[in-house]
Amino acid sequence: MAELNDFLAELPSESAVKKAATESRFESDDDDDSEVDESGVNERMDDGEGVCEDKEKPGEASQMSPSRRERVPRTITDDDGWTTILPRK
């Protein structure tokens, strides 16, 4: 019983766990924005960020938001419950 009490005493507080979880979410969001494919090219380059606005014709509305593009799912789950991870394009 003493070992259990020692173990429980060493656990972090609930507020420390919540803080770490929040920081982890922010870091994982940042990681999504800076993904690099196998060739070393940033995948986000084609979403309109960093592209010269002069290339777009006047009056031509951009179909995608420059801040976010819609993500294509990278996994498929079949009828048996098996999940397959698809390669990046």
CA dihedral 68, 70, 76, 79 (to 10 degrees): 130
Q: What is the pLDDT of residue 33?
A: 46
Q: What is the pLDDT of residue 45?
A: 46
pTM: 0.29
**CA–CA gap between residue 62 and residue 20 (Å, rounded):** 38
Specify the higher pLDDT residue, 20 or 69.
Answer: 20
Specify the higher pLDDT residue, 72 or 39.
Answer: 72
pLDDT digits (tens, 9 = 90+) for 28-62: 555 444 455 454 544 444 445 454 544 545 554 55
Q: How far is residue 52 from each of residues 4, 6, 47, 71, 79, measured CA to CA in Å? A: 62, 61, 12, 23, 45
- The answer to whether residues 88 and 43 touch, using CB atoms and an 8 Å cutoff, is yes
Helix (H, G, I), strand (E, B) or coil at 75: strand
**CA–CA gap between residue 52 and residue 55 (Å, rounded):** 6
Domain ranges of the chain: 2-85
